[in-house]
Amino acid sequence: MRLVAEGLAALRGERVVFRHVNFEVSSGQALVLYGPNGSGKTTLLRILAGLLAVMAGRLRLLDNDSQPLTGEARDGALHFISHQDMIRTQLRVRETLRFHAALLGAPARDVDAALDVWGLSALAGISGGFLSAGQRRRLSLARLSLQPRRLWLLDEPLVALDAQARARLNNVCNKHLADGGIIVAATHEPFLAGMRTLHLSSGA
């Protein structure tokens, strides 16, 4: 699988946030996005997820036979973990993840396994309102473990995570890459050492 971006440009509101963004990431590779606030990291990730239209340029997600993925096939090939955590105070941790599993079309039986991967098993019956910032982050990231998908798009995955959780995240990501997955992550901190980076500058 390959993710190819050629001359991407994006508009937020009525302003151009970036232009001339080029990159190509293939199976087993990661691309880490750096840049100051407002430089368009989130916008780029949302474009890659297919949630925003590109203003100019071309973006393709190609499968192993170099056939472009579109529509539902494309949506079904990626995980998008935004910087927002979709956690409601009225829903317990397990209920939240079950709902996310249903939205992804993942079997409900994998929910407990995913909770376990992210060290949330003990919190399964707790209401979302009582979670700390780090726990909320882990619950969002637990979506990654619900269903194997090739392309992971992570927006600020490290925020609020403690050392142990970061190690967990690193393990999960490295395993994903070893299995032939692709990761594009936006962050302000060192992440996935040795992988390729892309620096977005503001007002470019």
Partner 1 sequence: MRTFAALFWRDLVLNIRSSGGAALSAAFFALIVVLAPLGLGPNAATLKALGPGLFWIAALLATLLGLERMVQQDVEDGTLDLFRLSPLPMELIIVAKILAHWLTSGLIITLLAPLLAPLLSLSFDAVPTLTLSLLLGTPGLSSIGAAAAALGTSVQRGGMVLAILVLPLNVPFLIFGASAVAAAQSGNDPSQALIFLAAASLIAMVVGPLAAAAALRLNED
Partner 2 sequence: MLAYANPTRFLRLARTLTPWTLGAGILLSLVGLYLALFFAPPDYQQGEAMRIIYVHVPAAWMALFVYVCMAVSSAVAFIWKHPLADIAAKASAPIGLVFTALALITGMLWGQPMWGAWWVWDARLTSVLILFFLYLGYIVLWGAIDEPTRAARAARILALVGVVNVPIIHFSVEWWSTLHQGATVFRADGPSMTTPMLIPLLVMAVAYNILYVAFLLIRMRMEVSERRLRTLRLGLEGASS
Contacting residues toward partner 2, per CB under 8 A = 13-16, 38, 202-203
Residue 202: contacted member of partner 2, partner 1, none (CB under 5 to 8 Å, by partner type)? partner 2
CB 164 → partner 1: shortest distance, Å?
26
Assigned token pair, 192: 């996935």
Instruction: Give Cα 169 distance to the centre of its chain.
Output: 12
Do 106 and 78 contact (CB within 8 A), yes or no? no
Told to check if 49 binds partner 1 by CB under 8 A, we report yes
CB 46 → partner 1: shortest distance, Å?
8
CB 54 → partner 1: shortest distance, Å?
11
CB 91 → partner 1: shortest distance, Å?
7
Based on its alpha-carbon atoms, the radius of gyration of the chain, rounded to whole angstroms, reads 17
Told to check if 160 binds partner 1 by CB under 8 A, we report no
Site for partner 1 in 57-96 (CB under 8 A): 72, 75-76, 78, 80, 82, 84-88, 90-91, 95
Residue 92: burial class (beta carbons within 10 Å; 0-12, 13-18, 19+): middle
CB 12 → partner 2: shortest distance, Å?
10
Do 94 and 126 contact (CB within 8 A), yes or no? no
Residue 51: contacted member of partner 2, partner 1, none (CB under 5 to 8 Å, by partner type)? partner 1
Q: Which amino acid is at 175?
A: K
SS3 138: helix
Residue 203: contacted member of partner 1, partner 2, none (CB under 5 to 8 Å, by partner type)? partner 2
How far, in Å, CA of 78 to CA of 12, rounded? 23
